[in-house]
Amino acid sequence: MVKVNDGELRLERRQDGQIWARRGGEECAVRVHRCFPWSEPGRFLSLRDEDDVEFALVDSLDDLEGETRTVLTSAAAEAGFVLEVTGIVEVDDEVEIRRWKVETRQGERSFQTKLDDWPTGVPGGGVVIRDVAGDLYHVPEPEALDAKSRKLLWAFVG
């Protein structure tokens, strides 16, 4: 067990697939969010409740043991799925939603972002777009995109 945020942390994956965290007398369902840097996928894992409030921050998977480590390792791998954008086909604004159509290494994808959620630069280079479901789309080298894709992307990067 590891001391995390002033209490011992225990994790379990329940039959419904949700991850439940216990610390002290508190217990809640959590989702795993990987924090930067991406170059260290087993470090800085934020466990967040349904309101996106951080319940615990795990500095390193190496600090964990047993079922807690197994559960968090699996959840971190699931949370770490990032699609690499190779081109931007189209971006349309609708009421409170922006709809993106992109090419990725995994094929063509469509996703939505809130109008006030903007692509952001990340340490080490590139731009990340987070969709309304929390999935990440990474543009590792925006300058390497074709002219149309660069124009569409830079219209939304601050």
The pLDDT score that the predictor gives to residue 52 is: 85
Beta bridge partners of 12: 20
The pLDDT score that the predictor gives to residue 35 is: 80
The pLDDT score that the predictor gives to residue 83 is: 85
The pLDDT score that the predictor gives to residue 80 is: 64
Q: Using alpha carbons, list the distances in angstroms from residue 123 to 29, 116, 126, 151.
A: 30, 22, 8, 22
The pLDDT score that the predictor gives to residue 2 is: 44
The pLDDT score that the predictor gives to residue 1 is: 34
Q: What is the mean pLDDT of each run of 10 residues along the chain (158 residues)?
A: 60 90 92 75 87 91 89 79 89 94 92 92 83 85 95 87
Q: Is 57 left (phi over 0), alpha (psi -120 to 50) or beta?
A: beta
The pLDDT score that the predictor gives to residue 76 is: 80
**Secondary structure of 30-87 in the HEC alphabet?**
EEEEECCCCCCCCEEEEEECCCCCEEEEEEEHHHCCHHHHHHHHHHHHHHCCEEEEEE
Say if residues 68 and 61 touch (Cβ distance below 8 Å): no
The pLDDT score that the predictor gives to residue 4 is: 53
The pLDDT score that the predictor gives to residue 134 is: 76
The pLDDT score that the predictor gives to residue 3 is: 44
